[in-house]
Amino acid sequence: MSDGGLILMDELAADWEGPAATSSTEDRALYLELDGWEGPLDLLLDLARRQKVDLRRISILELVDQYLGYIDHAEELRLELAADYLVMAAWLAYLKSALLLPREEQPDPSPEELALRLQLRLQRLAAMRDAAARLMGRDRLGRDVFLRGAPEGLRVDRRNKWQCDWFAVIQAYGMVKARTAPVVHMVRDRMVMTLDSALTRVASMLGVTLDWMELREFLPPHADPRLRRSALASSFVAALELARLGKAELAQDETFGPLRLRQVR
């Protein structure tokens, strides 16, 4: 058990503190230490411990009187009291008056229950305060016990052992090649009449007659339709070429109509 928590610190100012200062338990000191209380519950706990009985047997009425007396005295001394303390004072005054009422006139929840609640809370705070003191009093690392001052340190150098097999390399290369090979457009073999052969063919056929001939008549008869198509195109270009050279003339009566040609003398 600590001595009722008269070691006070300003928790807001600094949570790491120098050595704790002890102070006397005289009343005067008590009032001067107002700033050091950790709130009204803290003050109540300290007052309760002054009753020097087990917290389970404290007199709540006596505690209320002590608290209210403390607040009055502080006000006489014109000490600034935080609102929390005044709120607690008002509540305790209410609790006291309720406790003094005949049982049948007592409000709900009963003041006994409220008093019990207060008592339970004081017990819990006291328990944690003691626990904290015992914890802090343990053999602590860096103060009472020490780790090795200069450990060599364990170092694990991680190395990657890379794995890959021969097939994966070959396959990867195949994939690269496949992905980046230039795109080749392969044209299927087909029967064609080249321009040269069309030119020869049309020129020689033109020499046979002086009459107009339809272009279609220059095409190889009975040919595969695909060859006829190619021959038609080549022969048309051949006709244009012969006209350009002045060896043939062309005529067409209407748009898309039959194209005719004849030799120029």
Give, as ranges, the residues between 18 and 57 that touch another protein (CB under 8 A). 18-20, 38-42
List the interface residues with another protein, window 215-234 (CB under 8 A).
215-216, 229, 232-233
C-beta of 2 vs 210, nearer to another protein: 2
Residues 119-138 that bind another protein (CB under 8 A): 120-121, 123-125, 127-136, 138
User: Of 94, 146, 152, whose CA–CA distance to 118 is shortest?
Assistant: 94
| CA–CA dist 228, 234 (Å, integer) | 10
Beta carbon nearer to another protein, 73 or 121: 121
> Given the complex with another protein, which of 117 and 210 has the nearer CB atom?
117
Q: Which of residues 89-108 bind another protein (CB under 8 A)?
A: 91, 94-95, 98, 107-108
Q: At closest approach, how far in Å is the CB of 165 from another protein?
A: 7
Q: What is the rounded distance in angstroms from the CA atom of residue 55 to the CA atom of residue 121?
A: 10
3-class secondary-structure state, position 86? helix
R_g over Cα of the chain: 57
- Is the alpha carbon torsion for 36, 11, 62, 94 positive or negative? positive
- Tell me the backbone φ, ψ of residue 251, rounded to 5 degrees: -145, 145
> Per rule CB under 8 A, is residue 72 in the interface with another protein?
no
CB of 240 to another protein, least distance (A): 11
Closer to another protein by CB, 102 or 149: give it: 149
Q: How far apart are the first and last CA of the chain?
A: 138
